[in-house]
Chain A
């Protein structure tokens, strides 16, 4: 190849490619087309970002593009594609479920004060009689009518959910389901609406046991229904977050027979993140204490070393060191997931007579 050429006189040979400037123009055209066709998705994704400068910039960039592309029907192909693939949600159904959720909340709020007192009395009596052995109860579950166990939450659930399901399904009369949603939580229902999804699960599946774990993505500003931002861990933020945690707990405990486990956050490697997760754990613990049907599962003691600090490697029952956390300092490893799953089985057994016998 001759490396000396004159841009003004030499014409680019078209067989092997195009001039860099033309490729740039072609690439920009392609990106432009992709952005226009996808502008509604891009804007929706930008709006779901945590309250930050990058969110403001993204929204500011995509809003005018979407406002031009949408009236010109350029976003239609994508919307039709989503509908054909079954991605578009049935808005009517969602509205119905939301209404049910709100009704549940209102009823529960009215009863809350009365319930708190009775729950605290119940817990005190449970604590005093915890050493007494419970009578064995005949199992009402069969292969045709299995105990339905669900585990739902953010990416933490992705790392232990299937392990937990495999453990509960060791009993032939138990059916387990794991439903993780990456990057989700209770702070941003505009990204993933957990209260609505939990209500859907309750209505459609009516599980006997549900394990919930949120928080990893929740230490961020909250956007209210009137589009205001509440600064994280400010008093209004804490009130709103407590309300959301309580709402999910109320939906899950609408059936008093159901066992509801709320898993707290384990210690985290980064000190600042760990402090934020501790603050969230306080909210979960406080809300769980106010409801008879919710059992809070504290993970801090399980995943700390002898000095009470975060540890990636911990000794198992035989004294052998195993890695219980992933290298990101946040998620649980395979072994960590096994430990947590065993703890959850024990908690479920403790919460209801007879269930423990399903997993000898």
Chain B
């Protein structure tokens, strides 16, 4: 079930009503939300509901065992159960996401005579997200950062439909208190929620889908057939498209959760205004980068050792972060580019560099890496990069509206937050009927401006 569809609209109206009606009854509420989330997930493929149920059950059981061992001061036992849970989670990811990739590479390495059987499985939507959430729960239990959750609370946490398929990756420490405590039904932050939902829909339906269909898809499918100017604009366009797509989804997810009484962490904070790669990763997919920091980079040693060890840890973290997005070499290269750029940043002091120059460099390193992220293969990425410098011919796609949209989207990153807050405050002072009316007209405008048919969100495939 995609957010920008009527089916989701109707589903959400029913869930909203049930959520607030059943909230005074904890057990009924938990069953209602858990059931709704399973229904939401089953909409794609009901078979994968069993996978989700397995992830819930196995991690909850392992979590309880970890807690039991810790209470008995059996650290060894707790470590064993943690390993079991992590192996089980990684095995799930491995089978569905990585097995065919490695089997294929091994087959090709060993030669045509060796044939390793391939599974050819469909990737369950959101598996990377709920697996990472489950892993954070068991690790945090072992670290005594969270207390074990009751089964239904954990089931609601892992399956909660607003963030189930594409994040944000919410930690148990953030969700558990919100599940346990009944939110105040008198103060539903509708202004913020309606604003986020409309903003997310606009980003996805108008900006992302339009840029994809008019510019990006054509340029990446046939870079040689376009002028250098078109190709460069296509790369900038993809940077805006993926931001609009993913942050649009997150905006809607956060808005929907707010209406149900939940507050998710921020996932994007104007990433294209970053003045360094380090800054970029504090603003882009924040819940993933903080997950990688807390559960991978720091356990590897972080920046506590020698410089060479810090660089190694950075590179490992970013390469695995790249591989998290998908099982192709291009994602590995994407991660490596970011890892190497972060290493270079640490090596070079940047105090004397003008902020404008730092912004230009940072933005273009990010765009350079996006080429590998978007292209179908390594060779295709090189074709795109080569076409930027060596593709003559007339501009076929570049048009004033495209340049305007890309420019507007970039400029919006620098919009002062106080202005946005002032606008929200003004809306908040208006009555709920005015807000509802504005929301309805906003929906019609977005539908009018968007192209026919909306492609699934890019991050669903991860």
Contact = CB atoms under 8 A, between A and B. Distances in A.
Interface string A139-152: 00000000000000
Given A41-B447, A183-B453, A327-B122, A334 B185 contact: no
Contacts of A27: 13, 16, 190, 194, 259, 436, 439
Given A18-B188, A24-B17, A315-B112, A37 B436 contact: no
Contacts of A85: 448-449
Contact of B225 (A12, A23, A30, A166): A166
B188 A321 contact: no
Interface residues of B, number: 57
Contacts of B445: 81
Given A16-B189, A169-B225, A321-B108, A38 B123 contact: no
Interface string B166-195: 000000000000000110111111111010
B107 A26 contact: no
A15 B428 contact: yes
B433 to A, nearest CB: 6
Contact of B437 (A10, A29, A327): A29
Interface in B197-223: 217-218, 221-223
B345 interface: no
A25 B436 contact: yes
Nearest to A10: B186
A38 B442 CA distance: 12
Interface in A18-48: 18-34, 37-38, 41-42
Taking chain B's interface residues, is the majority helix, strand, or loop, or is none over half, making it mixed? helix
Given A323-B104, A327-B123, A17 B188 contact: yes
B309 interface: no
B279 interface: no
A162 interface: yes
A209 B182 CA distance: 66
A145 B217 CA distance: 27
Contact of A169 (B222, B259, B377): B222
B436 A28 contact: yes
B447 A163 contact: no
A264 B102 CA distance: 32
Contacts of A73: none
Interface string B223-252: 111000000000000000000000000000
Nearest to A32: B440
A81 B439 contact: no
A17 B432 CA distance: 9
Contact of A1 (B20, B123, B184, B225): B184
A37 B440 CA distance: 9
B199 to A, nearest CB: 15
A303 to B, nearest CB: 14
Contact of A17 (B9, B16, B190): B190
Nearest to B109: A320
B426 to A, nearest CB: 13
Interface in B74-133: 100, 104, 107-108, 111-112, 118, 120, 122-123
20 contacts: A16-B187, A16-B189, A17-B428, A23-B188, A30-B435, A30-B443, A31-B9, A33-B437, A34-B441, A34-B443, A38-B444, A85-B448, A162-B221, A162-B222, A163-B221, A165-B222, A166-B222, A315-B112, A328-B122, A329-B122
Given A27-B16, A27-B259, 10 more contacts: A16-B189, A34-B443, A78-B444, A162-B217, A165-B221, A165-B222, A176-B225, A182-B453, A183-B453, A319-B112
Interface of A: 1, 3, 5, 7, 10-13, 15-34, 37-38, 41-42, 77-78, 81-82, 85, 161-163, 165-166, 169-170, 176, 182-183, 269, 312-313, 315, 319-321, 323, 327-329, 333-334
